[in-house]
Amino acid sequence: MREIDVSLISDTVRQLCIEANKNLPGDLEKIIRESVCLENTEPANGVMCALCENLDAAKELDIPICQDCGMAVVFAEIGQDVHFVNGSFEKAVNDGVGRGYKDGYLRCSVVSDPLRRVNTGNNTPAVIHTRIVEGDKVKITVAPKGFGSENMSKLRMFTPSVTREEIIEWIVNAVRTAGGNPCPPVVLGIGIGGDFEQCAYLAKKALCRPVSVKNEDEFYASFEEELLKKINELGIGPQGFGGNVTALCVAVETAPTHIAGLPVAVNVGCHVTRHAAKVL
């Protein structure tokens, strides 16, 4: 049994909150920069250049990439041979989020109650997803989620009679309806299967997959490619001004489901789809 002091969890979450908000994953930054040459008209090319200048400015000035520093979503894969000591794991995560947003001068956007709308002042509590895995390691992923894109997300409980084409059209229409609201070019996380809440979890988790990695199942890899092609044919373009690049990546994650259902969730990420991870 390996013991881990919860102070290490808190310090790690703090670090990841700051890192994720100031630096995009390398492969996502690469695809954004490569997309500039895909836009040969104004204002699309100008917008893509501006997005790249924004990434450069964030690095040079050591400031967040986006003013919406998001709601902290934390994925924790915890080895079953780990024992946390000197406190609560969940409290440590929230302590790390609070310190990270304060020390990193990150905008705090969480309210303590959905209707009374009083800001908590430190961007807590985080949305925490834990999974018990084999071994004695802990992998923590922090994914700050801005709500301009989150608000454009959708979930639908299809019946098993739905066709592949109908699912694709529903997903494409979700992007069409969103238009320029989620700050395209977007990254789409798609969850298929499970039940009501699991398909939404799958869609959120899909946004943390490296954009350079396709689904390992060729059936779903081709599904991702077809969706990306059809979405980019919409012509919404960067920031909704028209163009060739409406989406940068589509990632599909699946799970077994019930014989009577087929849930599908679309979690929309803007071009600043942030996440950072560390294994302890």
CA distances from 148 to 67, 68, 240, 258 (A): 11, 8, 13, 32
CA distances from 50 to 19, 43, 159, 239, 271 (A): 22, 10, 43, 11, 12
**This prediction's pTM:** 0.95
**pLDDT computed for residue 59 by the predictor:** 95
**pLDDT computed for residue 14 by the predictor:** 98
Strand partners, 263: 157
Residue holding tokens 């996380």? 189
**pLDDT computed for residue 136 by the predictor:** 98
C-alpha 60, offset from chain centre: 24
In order, the DSSP letters of the chain are: -EEEEHHHHHHHHHHHHHHHHH---HHHHHHHHHGGGG--STTHHHHHHHHHHHHHHHHHHT--SSS---EEEEEEEEETTEEEESS-HHHHHHHHHHHHHHHTTPPP--BSSTTT--B-SS--S-EEEEEEESSS-EEEEEEEE-HHHHTT-EEEEE-TT--HHHHHHHHHHHHHHHTTTT-SSEEEEEEEEE-HHHHHHHHHHHTTS-TT---SSHHHHHHHHHHHHHHHTT---GGGS--S-SEEEEEEEEEEE-TT-EEEEEEEE-S----EEEE-
Walk along the chain (280 residues) and give the pLDDT tens digit of each residue.
999 999 999 999 999 999 999 999 999 999 999 999 999 998 999 999 999 999 999 999 999 999 999 999 999 999 999 999 999 999 999 999 999 999 999 999 999 999 999 999 999 999 999 999 999 999 999 999 999 999 999 999 999 999 999 999 999 999 999 999 999 999 999 999 999 999 999 999 999 999 999 999 999 999 999 999 999 999 999 999 999 999 999 999 999 999 999 999 999 999 999 999 999 9
For 36-70, the pLDDT digits (tens) are: 999 999 899 999 999 999 999 999 999 999 999 99
**pLDDT computed for residue 120 by the predictor:** 98
Cα 69 to Cα 142: distance, rounded to the nearest angstrom = 12
> How many C-beta neighbours within 10 Å does residue 117 have?
8
**Vertex 69 angle, CA 120 and 90, to 5°:** 55
For 241-251, the pLDDT digits (tens) are: 999 999 999 99
Segments making up each domain of the chain, as ranges: 2-22+65-145, 148-274
Cα 119 to Cα 239: distance, rounded to the nearest angstrom = 29
**pLDDT computed for residue 160 by the predictor:** 97
